[in-house]
Amino acid sequence: MTSSTQAPSARTTLKRNAVRAQYNTEVLREVLASQQICTVAYVQEGEPRQIATLYFCDDTHMYLHGNRQSALLRHMSQGGEVCISVMLVDGIVVARSGFHCSMNYRSVTLFGKGEGVTGPAHRKALDDFVAVLIPGHEKVVREPTSQELAATAVARIPLHEMSAKIRAGDPIDDEGDLDSEVWAGEIPLRKTALTPIASANLRADIILPQYIEHLQVKG
């Protein structure tokens, strides 16, 4: 995907704090590539639903997977509309007033119609989910069985109608509060992987692979 800035649609136009809006494809892609979990909202029989799930993106689409009986996967595979939210929390913003305490974040909202993924693209997507979650592991896991392949549905949505909103930096305090005694600034937050814990039934001769020891966790 080359870098370009698309005009927002009516529903992706930020109204609150519009200076934080981003519609540049490179910026949107960078946010999407930095996270691996999203929430997907859709309407089922007139009622709102929202589901948290894993995703990955290629140049043109976001992919989700799950049990073939999943209501969300069925909805998307039948071309249903969804609204997907992705967010990264970068810091806690400590202001001199409660009103201006906030968070630094990068978030994306994506609208569109789902589409079922079948055939070789379905199989490739299942490998890609492992590669995104634990890069390198997709090369060593056993081949999926036909039952496993049949049980797992994959759906996707085009990376087309989307917005990003980004807050960074200092609290935005009122002029009159700037000489206050209260500490102000940012507490940066980062998600890191802790020391891996071997499975209780792991064979004793299997050592921790480098790709797990040095896993860079997203989000």
Ligand X SMILES: Cc1cc2nc3c(=O)[nH]c(=O)nc-3n(C[C@H](O)[C@H](O)[C@H](O)COP(=O)(O)OP(=O)(O)OC[C@H]3O[C@@H](n4cnc5c(N)ncnc54)[C@H](O)[C@@H]3O)c2cc1C
Stretch that binds ligand X, among 6-14, 175-183, 195-203, 211-219 (CB under 6 A): 6-14
Q: Are 65 and 54 in contact (CB under 8 A)?
A: yes
Contact call for residue 16 and ligand X (CB under 6 A): yes
Per-residue contact flags (x/-) with ligand X for residues 144 to 183, judged by CB under 6 A: -------------------xxx------------------
Nearest to 159 by CA among 87, 106, 82: 82
Q: Are 92 and 186 in contact (CB under 8 A)?
A: yes
Closest separation between CB of residue 103 and ligand X, Å? 5
Residue 11 per-residue DSSP state: T
Stretch that binds ligand X, among 8-16, 53-61, 181-189, 199-207 (CB under 6 A): 8-16
Site for ligand X, residues 74 to 113, rule: CB under 6 A = 87, 89, 103, 105, 107-109
Contact call for residue 6 and ligand X (CB under 6 A): no
Closest separation between CB of residue 100 and ligand X, Å? 11
- Residue whose CB is less far from ligand X, 31 or 153: 31
- Residue whose CB is less far from ligand X, 119 or 188: 188
Token pair in block for residue 172: 């935005």
Question: Residue with structure tokens 């040095």?
Answer: 214
Residues with Cβ within 8 Å of residue 88, at least 6 apart in sequence: 31, 34, 35, 105, 106, 107, 219
Question: Residue with structure tokens 């934080």?
Answer: 20
Contact call for residue 190 and ligand X (CB under 6 A): no
Closest separation between CB of residue 39 and ligand X, Å? 11
Question: Residue with structure tokens 């970068």?
Answer: 90
